[in-house]
């Protein structure tokens, strides 16, 4: 991959796909220092940047916005999307309000998993992806994938596909956009970030005062581990797994040439 490709700026997102992730913290300054050291991010007010491109948000936690990472979906019509969420059995936790670059609302599915909805004006979401330090696939952790498939299919038109013992969400164009993993005691959306090396990222997190929640695990072409920052917010780090490919040619089956 060339330098230009690695640093490509993302300018927009398809409707009802993950576009942004934001951290709410009781101590934004200390949180900014932790994630800056972990991912190489620069703090820029209410946003984290990587090489000058916005990659995540940062805000102070409030009673209606508790500590933790919140994944957002892009929408071209926030009010219509909120109506579809309500018709599917979801709940609006935070009514539409203007934000830096767009309008936002926060919703929960019937099991309690929380998502943000983002209607852009002059800011579409994360401006970089597919490289270390950027948002990766979010994942719904749930103990009831059947109910989840019913809600997300009705609210957003998503399809749930099971493959190799795991699940992934497809949008209406049948593009894979998020993951699903078994959980217990309810449901929640887990944010994820790409790194170069899972073990190195986990070790670095622990040296900075965070913790390793689950040991690194391989799943298909990726490896992931769940971490916790020093303030209690959980997130996942993901890295591609490169398996060597061996090519063997049997000369005994080739025709002889003189």
Residue 114 lies in a domain: yes
Q: What is the pLDDT of residue 6?
A: 46
176: CB partners within 8 A, 6+ apart: 137, 161, 168, 169, 170
Q: What is the pLDDT of residue 185?
A: 78
Task: Give dist(CA 160, CA 165) in Å, integer.
Answer: 13
Look up the pTM and report it: 0.88
Counting as low any pLDDT under 70, the low residues of the chain are 1-9, 11, 163-165, 220, 242-258
Residue 251 lies in a domain: no
* pLDDT digits 0-9 by tens, 135-174: 999 999 999 999 999 999 999 999 999 865 578 999 988 9
Residue 253 lies in a domain: no
Q: What is the pLDDT of residue 184?
A: 78
Residue 27 lies in a domain: yes
Supply the CATH number for residue 189's domain.
3.10.180.10
Q: Name the token pair of 5.
A: 């490709």
Task: Give dist(CA 134, CA 127) in Å, integer.
Answer: 9
Q: What is the pLDDT of residue 64?
A: 79
Whose structure tokens read 């298909």? Answer: 220
Task: Give dist(CA 246, CA 107) in Å, integer.
Answer: 48
Task: Give dist(CA 27, CA 86) in Å, integer.
Answer: 33
Residue 121 lies in a domain: yes
Residue 247 lies in a domain: no
Q: What is the pLDDT of residue 222?
A: 80
> Total structural domains in the chain?
1
Q: What is the pLDDT of residue 258?
A: 47
Q: What is the pLDDT of residue 115?
A: 97
Whose structure tokens read 């994820």? Answer: 192
Q: Return the SS3 of 123.
A: coil
Is the CB of residue 74 less than 8 Å from the CB of residue 14?
yes
Q: Return the SS3 of 216.
A: strand
What are the backbone dihedrals phi and psi of residue 35, each rounded to the nearest 5 degrees, phi first?
-70, -30
Residue 235 lies in a domain: yes
Q: Return the SS3 of 128.
A: coil
Residue 249 lies in a domain: no
What is the extent of the structural domain holding 125? 3-242
């Amino acid at each position: 991959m060339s330098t230009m490709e690695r640093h490509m700026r993302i300018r927009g997102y398809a409707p009802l796909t993950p576009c942004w992730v934001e951290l709410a913290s009781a101590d934004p300054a200390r949180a900014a220092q932790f994630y800056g050291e972990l991912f190489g991010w620069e703090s820029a007010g209410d946003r984290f940047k990587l090489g000058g491109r916005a990659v995540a948000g940062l805000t102070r936690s409030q009673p209606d916005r508790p500590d933790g990472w919140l994944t957002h979906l892009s929408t071209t019509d926030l009010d219509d999307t909120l109506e579809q969420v309500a018709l599917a059995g979801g709940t609006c936790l935070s009514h539409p309000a203007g934000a830096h670059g767009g309008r936002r609302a926060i919703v929960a599915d019937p099991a309690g998993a929380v998502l943000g909805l983002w209607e852009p004006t002059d800011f579409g979401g994360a401006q970089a992806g597919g490289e270390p330090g950027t948002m990766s696939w979010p994942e719904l952790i749930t103990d009831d994938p059947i109910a989840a498939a019913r809600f997300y299919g009705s609210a957003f038109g998503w399809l749930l596909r099971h493959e190799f013992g795991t699940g992934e969400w497809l949008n209406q164009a049948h593009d894979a956009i998020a993951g699903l993993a078994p959980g217990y005691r309810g449901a929640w959306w887990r944010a994820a970030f790409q790194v170069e090396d899972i073990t190195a990222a986990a070790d670095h997190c622990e040296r900075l005062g965070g913790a390793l929640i689950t040991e690194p695990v391989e799943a298909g072409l990726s490896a992931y581990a769940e971490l916790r920052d020093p303030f209690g917010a959980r997130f996942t780090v993901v890295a591609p797994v490169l398996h060597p490919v061996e090519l063997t040619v049997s000369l005994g089956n080739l025709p002889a040439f003189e």
